[in-house]
Amino acid sequence: SESSGTSVGEAGSTDTFTVVLNSKPTGNVVFNVTSGDTGEATVSPSALTFTTGNWNSAQTVTVTGVNDSIDDGNVNSTTTIAINTGSTADSIYDSVSSQTVAVTTADDDTAGFTIAQSSGSTSVSEAGSTDTFTVVLNTEPTGNVVFALTDNDTDNTEISYSPTTLTFNAGNWNTAQTITVTGVDDSIDDDNVTSTITVSINTGSTADSVYDSVSSQTLSVTTVDDDNSNAITITHSGGNTVVNEAGYGRYAQDWTK
């Protein structure tokens, strides 16, 4: 007997159903209770024993949801209640067919990824300083997930970064990978420049189709300018500049001879 079906959540919620005999046995009747997918739901107890004294008292089986880190949607499995013929004393019950209970485990995972910038922002200077950000998956993939990194600095005069591709799998999905951004020097007084780096799924190289539909994300990078068009540099030949009214140049110190 189920109360409106049997449904649990990955967060560990529970649901119950009951089992009771239809007739009084002449000896013990033992059932095995097994989950068809212990990665989604577990059952307790794993065995039920009815006797001539309790045969008409329903016994409760508790189903508990099992958490995973995969975006696999709601999963349906079955719990089987079957006579344990080796432990059952009433031979009439040996031929009783098994019964199953359908169990739905509600998923609580959503495929995605998280970008974290050091100090909450990314900034470099034309002098070649560096800054970093990290990328990590939000759920465990069923195959490789590959990212491509691109930017809008088309002439490569503001930033460079490494690596330009990232690969996650079931073994490293929750370990953040670091991208290092380096400022690129130019000789133009162009003030501080903001560039955009886009992190997107490479669907052609990604094996987990759930991640194919995950949206790209962008982050801004500021490159601090180190050029000043309001300044000029004056260099003296010989360390100073001396002229004479006669129109001679820097050898004026000899004209008194």
pLDDT in tens, 100-136: 999 999 999 999 999 999 989 999 998 899 999 999 9
- Per-residue pLDDT reduced to its tens digit, 163-174: 999 999 999 999
Q: What pLDDT score was predicted for residue 192?
A: 86
The winner for highest mean pLDDT among 2-6, 100-104, 155-159 is 100-104
239: left (phi over 0), alpha (psi -120 to 50) or beta: left
Average pLDDT, rounded, for the chain: 92
- Percent of the chain at pLDDT above 70? 93
Q: How many of the other CB atoms lie within 10 Å of CB of 173?
A: 18
SS3 of residue 23 by DSSP: coil
Q: The tokens of 10 are what?
A: 């990955």
Residue of higher predicted confidence among 228 and 105: 105
- Name all contacts of 229-234 with Cβ < 8 Å and 24+ positions apart: 229/189
CA–CA dist 233, 68 (Å, integer):
66
Q: How far apart are the first and last CA of the chain?
A: 126
Average pLDDT over residues 197-215: 98
pLDDT above 50: residue 257: no
Cβ-proximal residues to 60 (8 Å cutoff; 6+ apart), any chain: 16, 17, 18
Local confidence band at 249 (pLDDT 50, 70, 90 cut-offs): low
Q: How far is CA 13 from CA 17, 64, 107, 110, 174, in A?
A: 14, 6, 12, 19, 25
Per-residue buried b or exposed e for 55-91, using 16+ beta carbons within 10 Å of the residue's own CB:
beeeeebebbbbebbbbbeebebebebebbeeebebe
Q: What are phi and psi of 148, to 5 degrees?
A: -115, 135
State CA 245 to chain mean position distance.
Answer: 79
Confidence tier at 48 by pLDDT (50, 70, 90): very high
Distance, in Å, from the CA atom of 81 to the CA atom of 135, rounded to the nearest integer, reads 46
